[in-house]
């Protein structure tokens, strides 16, 4: 296992739709394990494969907050199949460092995907877990959370980030 480089705005891999995983094999399992290690090290609560330069539909997340108690999830080819309600909460992103903004998302979601054994799984989520899932699935579609902000706010943030990159 190893810690991977987290790609940041304006890296092009973050703006393209990731490819579906056709074969859940050892390579995908290694990628998922490395993504978890990278996420914990960052530290973060979610990570999508494009954020580590792999244009594949793989996400990992863990919203547990108790020190030493990890409850990691790995979802391959996740699809949000149902949403309910809406709420606004502050979000940040490892690929958009130092930026936080309030984003409106569904309050509850159902997501289907596959685990590392190739078994279909369905998760019902609400609150922070629902938000993390939606945020990470957005990454798989080439959408950053700043893309969900008003055009003016988004452009201000992008200009600032580009200026900081030099």
Catalytic residue among 5, 90, 136, 155: 136
Instruction: Name the phi and psi angles at 131, rounded to 5.
Output: -65, -45
> Kind of pairing, strands 58-61 and 46-48?
antiparallel
DSSP SS3 for 32: helix
* The two three-digit tokens of residue 43, written as one number: 């530290």
Instruction: Mark whether 33 is an active-site residue.
Output: no
Dihedral sign of CA atoms 128, 42, 2, 4 in order: positive
- Annotated catalytic residues are 136
């Amino acid at each position: 296992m190893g810690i991977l480089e987290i790609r940041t705005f304006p890296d092009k891999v973050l703006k393209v739709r990731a490819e579906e995983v056709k074969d859940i094999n050892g390579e995908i399992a290694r990628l998922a394990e490395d993504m978890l290690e990278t996420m914990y090290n960052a530290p973060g609560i979610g990570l999508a494969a494009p954020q580590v330069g792999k244009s594949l539909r793989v996400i990992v997340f863990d919203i547990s907050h108790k020190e030493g108690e990890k409850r990691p999830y790995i979802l391959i080819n996740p699809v949000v199949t149902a949403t309910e309600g809406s709420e606004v909460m502050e979000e940040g992103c490892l690929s958009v460092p130092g930026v936080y903004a309030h984003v409106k998302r569904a309050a509850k979601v159902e997501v289907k995907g596959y685990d590392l054994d190739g078994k279909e799984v369905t998760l019902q989520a609400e609150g922070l877990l629902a938000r993390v899932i939606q945020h990470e699935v957005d990454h798989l579609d080439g959408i950053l959370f700043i893309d969900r902000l008003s055009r003016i706010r988004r452009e201000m943030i992008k200009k600032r980030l580009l200026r900081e990159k030099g």
